[in-house]
Structure 1
Amino acid sequence: MLTFLLPLFCIIQTASALGGFIETCSEVRFWDPDSVWGNKYKTSPYLVARCTSSDGDDYCTWLPLTMCYSNVDGQLVARSQ
């Protein structure tokens, strides 16, 4: 039973740290502005998401995958190492 609960706890903790990202962003995908065709997930420099604000408006957010990040108090922060 413990082997089932531990991964579940980690998932809940991660979702909580994301600050509601999972609930507000319906479409998360890789994106390469230089490529129209092909397997973008293999070479894409960006992760983009279509989200909804608390007012109900749609907005797009993106994360460049060419930088290093770390989780600092639930926020993604650029780090050199």
Structure 2
Amino acid sequence: MEKKNVFLIVKDVISEVLPDVDSDGVKIEQNLKSLGANSIDRTEIVMLSMERLGIKLPLVSFGGVENIEEMVDVLVDNT
């Protein structure tokens, strides 16, 4: 799947988990913490994104992720 399509899915999940965040304002270079996501929110965003993409990865795969783009890259590499 293309990176931009995965990013659109992740943006939708972010706005679902963080209802105060408008998905149109989410930029790929941002990190989830700057959007107000705590560790539970971040885990939920990763899990829901994987579910929507139909993939299963160990959460440790996202351990070194610094921003949304790096998370999207991990997801794209495994779709």
Larger RCO of the pair (alpha carbons < 8 Å, separation 6+): 2
TM-score using structure 2 length: 0.27
Q: Look at both structures and tell me which one has the larger radius of gyration over its CA atoms.
A: 1
Question: Higher helix proportion, which one?
Answer: 2
Higher strand share: 1
